[in-house]
Amino acid sequence: MSEIKMPNVANVLKQGDFVLTILAYRKLSCNEIVLAAGQYLKTIKRRTLPKRGSATFVTTIGHDGF
């Protein structure tokens, strides 16, 4: 069984002074970025993105090894 490598394609979502970097296995479409941002919010248990700062979220979108 081979090891799964970490995603290395950075997709950036900027909203106000907040920057969310989403690491995926390929360039994401706008809809996929919105989906990943929703997953990020669910993970941190918030309804909206923070007003400022930055975060990195790792997703498996684009991985075809499953």
Q: Is residue 54 part of a domain?
A: yes
Return the closest-CA partner of residue 36 out of 10, 16, 17.
10
The reply to whether 17 falls in a domain is yes
Residue 63 lies in a domain: no
Rg, the chain, Cα only:
12
Query: Is 2 inside a domain boundary?
Result: no
Flag whether 1 is in a domain. Answer: no
Q: For the whole prediction, is pTM greater than 0.85? A: yes
What is the rounded CA–CA span in Å between residue 44 and residue 18? Answer: 15
Work out whether the CA dihedral 31, 32, 33, 36 comes out positive or negative. Answer: positive
Please check whether residue 26 lies inside any domain of the structure. yes
Split into its structural domains, the chain has a count of 1
The residues of the chain scoring below 70 in pLDDT are 1-2, 65-66
- The H or E element spanning position 35 is helix 30-44
Tell me, what's the pLDDT at 34? 96
What does the pLDDT read at residue 62?
A: 85
The pLDDT score that the predictor gives to residue 37 is: 97
Give the domain range for residue 29.
Answer: 9-58
